[in-house]
Amino acid sequence: MEHGLEKKLRANTISKLMSPVYSLEAQIGTRIRNGYGIRDFNLQLAEEVAKVQESGNFPLVIGGDCSILLGALAGSRRTGPISLIHIDGHSDYRHPDNYDTNQMLGAVAGMDLALATGRGEALLTDWPDIESPLVPEQQVLQLGERENRDADFAWPDINQTAISQIDVFTANSIGEKGILNKIEQMLGAQPTWRFWVHLDVDVLDQSIMPAVDSPGSPGIELSWLKNIGAQLINNPLCCGMTVSVFDPDLDPDGYYAELIIEILEEMFLRCTSPSL
């Protein structure tokens, strides 16, 4: 906010939530690191998102890691089913069936898409007054995965799901128009459903956006990302957006914060003022 995001986007209201206390230790009853704190935080976030939507405004959720997606979806689900456009350099599909929970604690930032589609502990898949999953697999499109062609890809079982996928290599081959066509095909399966957009800025190449916790190459073209985001946000069925993983500690001069603001400003140029 110190870089003037709210002014440039002409936000109607701003709400701030305190991040949960972070602990590296295991907790009784869960094999997810900080599981209880993350659930409590996302319950609060769900309330805020629902409140903004009820007021007729567009919720833009700026967070730390991708765990914020869960609360955003839970809040949106209160008024009906939704689809999800998951734009991320990683498909975040870790769940207990593809790693050994006895050997390591799960990190929600690498599990958000699995949890959103109902894979994982009930602590973070089941939400009050909402039938699980938050989003059905067939109404999800993942854009930007860059590690799925590696021999040691962490969650190859995503390929056995109904989730639509456009990895970064395919994206850069088919171009902006091809990406939008595939998104439209997925959304068209449920043409009356609202949809949420999740943007992890590590989907950009690390030469453009290094101030993230897991930078990598290649990435989605910057101009394409701006245009795709603008097309989605200005669709009347788009009900909100999360933006995650920017690390200000890796951006002491504020250059990359300004770049993110520029991206969002161009996306929202034709959009009603958001609430942050």
Residue 246 lies in a domain: yes
Which tens digits make up the pLDDT trace of 190-207? 999 999 999 999 999 999
Residue 219 lies in a domain: yes
CA–CA distance, 27 with 31 (Å, rounded to integer) = 7
| Token pair 């091809």: residue | 178
- CA-nearest of 60, 52, 88 to 1 is 60
Which tens digits make up the pLDDT trace of 114-143? 999 999 999 999 999 999 999 999 999 999
Cα torsion angle, 8, 10, 16, 22, sign: negative
The pLDDT score that the predictor gives to residue 108 is: 95
Residue 113 lies in a domain: yes
Residue 145 lies in a domain: yes
The pLDDT score that the predictor gives to residue 1 is: 52
Q: If residue 185 lies in a helix (H) or strand (E), which one and from where to where?
A: helix 168-188
Which tens digits make up the pLDDT trace of 25-82? 899 999 999 999 999 999 999 999 999 999 999 999 998 899 999 999 999 999 999 9
CA–CA distance, 126 with 136 (Å, rounded to integer) = 13
Q: If residue 267 lies in a helix (H) or strand (E), which one and from where to where?
A: helix 255-268
The pLDDT score that the predictor gives to residue 129 is: 93
Which tens digits make up the pLDDT trace of 99-121? 999 999 999 999 999 999 999 99
**Segment 145-153 mean pLDDT:** 97
Q: Does residue 272 have a pLDDT over 90?
A: no
Residue 193 lies in a domain: yes
Residue 173 lies in a domain: yes
Mean pLDDT of the chain: 94
Q: Which two tokens stand for residue 252?
A: 């002491």
Residue 186 lies in a domain: yes
CATH, residue 194:
3.40.800.10
The pLDDT score that the predictor gives to residue 270 is: 61
How many distinct structural domains can be found in the chain?
Answer: 1
**Domain region containing 61:** 56-271
Q: Does residue 6 have a pLDDT over 60?
A: yes
Residue 2 lies in a domain: no
Q: Which two tokens stand for residue 240?
A: 């909100």
Q: Does residue 273 have a pLDDT over 70?
A: no
Contact status, residue 59 vs residue 240, Cβ threshold 8 Å: yes
- CA-nearest of 87, 22, 77, 35 to 243 is 87
The pLDDT score that the predictor gives to residue 253 is: 95
Q: How confident is the model at residue 88 (pLDDT cuts 50, 70, 90)?
A: very high
